[in-house]
Structure 1
Amino acid sequence: MLFLAPKNPTPQLLAFLTALQASLPALIGLIALKLLLPSLLSWWALLPAFLIFLGTGYYASHRALRKFIYNKVKLIYKSIHSLKAPKSSKPLNIDMRNHIIDRVEKEVTEWAKDWTQEIRYLKKMEQYRREFIDNVSHELKTPIFNMQGYLYTLADGGLEDEMIRDKYLQRAIDNVERIAEIVQELNQISKFESSAVELEMQPFDIQELAQEVVESMEISAEKKQIDLRFKDTAKKPYIVQADREMIRQVLVNLVSNSIKYGRPKGHTLIGFYDLDQNVLIEISDTGKGIAQEHLPRLFERFYRVDKGRSRHEGGTGLGLSIVKHIVEAHQQTINVRSRLGVGSTFGFTLAKYKG
């Protein structure tokens, strides 16, 4: 009779089918006894006898299933439940009357799915960790080896030559400053990721701050023959609520990048747009642009679109990552759109001052 059971039978159905299977031979035996000895049993007595066999078999089977199978399943179910549920969850209460097999199957399926996703995430993080360590090692290795060469040259007699001494000492200093900059920016990112940075929120005019940044970079822009100017929408005050020095760092990084990677005789445009609750700040350049496959990873630490050119232009490869952390610390968003041969536009939002 058990072959008639559905895919996931309840314990009650299993006990009934088991009892029925055990009772049928007894019923057949009683019928045979009635036929051989008609006077011993009446036909009406067969039904109560069969029901007694069936009931006794059901009770015994049910107890056996509960003790042997159910306890095993309950142990598995509780183990999975303890892995999935938070510590504050209520104690697990499993009622035998419920469809325990279906529930366990559902829990196991969900648990396996969650762990599969967790394993994928951990593998992704492991790959990210390896890439990060490789990048840090590479970024530090170059200035360290450079300093090593300069100092060895000076130690081998270069100190006697005034021109070599001054040149190599300056180069060693430049490389020390590069290492210090990398360490400082990594420390800043670490603080953002651990929520250890406290923002000094204040109202200020973002247009005025952008004007200060542009004025501080005019010499760099002139060397590259890049015209820094504001769009018509950016010629009036826009009062925002943010950390002024942090936002200065964002603007310096984005405007500096537009100069570094812009085309000679090109331009950088800064625009502001009123978005009701927020202000959108956009910095656009007329550089060579960025391929679409690079855009999703552009704000990762040490990620470089053109590694050779990026290192030649200077920088640590951490600027855009810091920019993203600063903007997100303000509960705002940053995005980039770009077209090869046309240029790139970085945009981020800040909350308007409501005072």
Structure 2
Amino acid sequence: MSLSPRVIALLLACIISALTLVFLTFVEGVTNAMLFVVGISSFIISFFLVYYAIELLVFREVNKMYKTIHQLKIRDFSISRKSIIQNANPFKKLNDEIFVYVAKKQKEIDELKRLEQFRREFLADVSHELKTPIFAAQGFIHTLIDGAVDDEQVRDKFLSKAAKSLDGLDALVKDLVVLSQLEMGEVKMSFERIDFIQVIQEVFEQLEKSALAKGTSLLLKPPYSGNVWVKADPQRIKQVMINLVENAIKYGNENGRVVVSLEEDKKHILVFVRDNGPGIPPEHLSRIFERLYRVEKSRSKDRGGTGLGLAIVKHILNAHKTKITVMSKVEKGTTFKFKLDRIDS
């Protein structure tokens, strides 16, 4: 027989009614009619009281606990903290508190798994990035040692390639060191009042040769004749602009254009770096600021770079108490956006 709330209430009501009748039989003057009325009334009252207590306070809450377990299994962590505080039912409170605690721990576990996956991918990427230039330089040098050094033309060519590989390795290690220092907060920003227009012009001049090689035009919109003063670390904010503009040139289309535009409000200068290149597929947008993440690994390697530029940009801007965002449409181009604190002239 299934011990449902009704069966349990029926059994307990029968026991309570029977005990009541037994005690009343020892009382003088109690008639059979009185015993019948008391027996029936005690049975009915006991049945409904016990049934209510078991059904509402125990079975219903236990069923909710099973539903909670089901929610946790399907990763549904939606629950209002306010509903826990306002509820007076101790079983309900216990159920909800367990749910919140387990949900919090599950999220922590999911985050740890995500970080562990990220760590594995990062170590694999770092190993690959370090291995490639080392093996290349090693191959060129061993070829020279094995006798090619006597051929002046081959020697100069191989030494040049080995030097290029080692230069790439040096750039990668330097960027890794800078990124590590930024993440650990070891790089202190030196905030100054700087002219952001001058920073943009210096960046354009520095990257002019790369832009000309691809036929890319570098534009500032709207054209500024005066100054735009911002509060920033001059060296680091220039590094941000170099990375963004250089990426726009490198991954943009031949004979394309890169536009840096500014918008002003009362407290901030909004900076936009746009290109009209092939764009970034939606599935990659959430990961492009990760260390060593490349949208197209083979093509990215051909174009150079360490794959750490955008990660460094993100951390520099975080140190400036601002965030960088990206918007992109395939075959339409990509726009990076961030803001800096404005200083009135």
Residues 204, 282 of structure 1: alpha-carbon distance in 2 compared, 3 angstrom cutoff = same
Which residue type is aligned with residue 33 of structure 1?
F
- Alpha-carbon separation, structure 1, partners of 2:265 and 2:323: 13
Give me the whole-angstrom Cα distance separating, in 2, the residues matched to 1:5 and 1:211.
85
What is the match of residue 175 of structure 2? 185
Deviation of 1:320 after TM superposition, in Å, equals 0.8
User: Where does residue 236 of structure 2 map in the other structure?
Assistant: 246
Of residues 236, 246, 250 in structure 2, which corresponds to 1:256? 246
**What is the identity, as a one-letter code, of the residue corresponding to 1:126?**
E
> CA deviation digits over 1:126-182, x for unaligned, max 9?
111111111111111211211221122122112222222222222222222212221
1:31 to 24, 32, 36: 24
Structure-1-length-normalised TM-score:
0.73
Equivalent-residue separation in structure 2 for 1:21 and 1:209 (angstroms): 90
Structure 1 residue aligned with 2:207: 217
Deviation by residue 1:67-97 (Cα, 9 ceiling, x = unmatched): xxxxxxxxxxxxxxxxxxxxxxxxxxxxxxx
Structure 2 counterpart of 1:344: 334
The aligned counterpart of 1:276 is: 266
Which whole-Å deviations, capped at 9, do the CAs of 1:242-269 have from their partners, x for residues lacking one?
0000011011111111211222222222
Check conservation: 1:334, 1:346, Cα contact below 8 A.
yes
Task: Kindly indicate whether residue 186 of structure 2 is the aligned counterpart of residue 204 of structure 1.
Answer: no
Q: Tell me the matched-pair count.
A: 291
Partners of 1:157 and 1:21 in 2: CA distance? 106
Aligned counterparts of 1:282 and 1:235: Cα–Cα separation in 2: 19
Identity of aligned residues (%): 37
Aligned partner of 1:115 in structure 2 is 105
- In the alignment, the residues of structure 2 paired with residue 153 and residue 261 of structure 1 have an alpha-carbon distance, to the nearest angstrom, of 34
1:234 Cα shift?
3.9
Q: Are the counterparts in 2 of residues 262 and 287 from structure 1 also a CA contact under 8 Å?
A: yes
- Residue identity matched to 1:347: K
Give the alignment partner of residue 141 of structure 1, picking from 127, 131, 136. 131
Q: Do structure 1's residue 308 and structure 2's residue 308 form an aligned pair?
A: no
Structure-2 separation of matches of 1:200 and 1:157: 52
Residue number in structure 1 paired with 2:121:
131
Match of 1:158 in 2: 148
For the 8 Å contact 1:234–1:271, the answer to whether it is kept is: no
Corresponding residue of 2:44? none
Paired amino acid for 2:26: L
Q: In the superposition, relative to structure 1, how do residues 190 and 280 fare at CA in structure 2: closer, same or farther (>3 Å)?
A: same
Q: Deviation at 1:201?
A: 0.1
Residue 272 of structure 1: CA displacement? Answer: 1.4
Instruction: Name the aligned partner's letter for residue 320 of structure 1.
Output: L
* Contact 1:228 1:268 (C-alpha < 8 Å) held by counterparts: yes
Deviation per CA, 1:10-66: give whole Å up to 9, x if none. Answer: xxxxxxxxx9998655433222334xx769xxx9xxx9xxxxxxxxxxxxxxxxxxx
Measure how far apart 1:197 and its partner are.
1.8
Out of 243-252 and 273-282, give the one that drifted further. Answer: 273-282
Equivalent residue, structure 2, for 1:286: 276
| Pairwise CA RMSD | 3.1
Q: Distance in 1 between matches of 2:314 and 2:229?
A: 21
Structure-2 separation of matches of 1:312 and 1:180: 17
Q: For residue 285 of structure 1, what is the amino acid of its counterpart? A: D
Contact 1:234/1:270 (8 A) holds in 2: no
Runs of 5+ unmatched residues, structure 2? 39-87
Q: Distance in 2 between matches of 1:252 and 1:177?
A: 19
d(CA) in 2 for partners of 1:22 and 1:158?
A: 105
Partner amino acid, structure 2, of 1:147: A
Structure 2: distance between partners of 1:139 and 1:308: 12
TM-score (norm 2): 0.75
**Structure-to-structure mapping, 1:67-86, within 5 angstroms:** none
Q: Counterpart of 2:162?
A: 172
For residues 8-23 of structure 1, the aligned pairs below 5 Å read none
Gap runs ≥5 in structure 1: 7-18, 48-97
Query: d(CA) in 2 for partners of 1:5 and 1:135?
Result: 65
Could you tell me which amino acid in structure 2 is paired with residue 125 of structure 1?
L
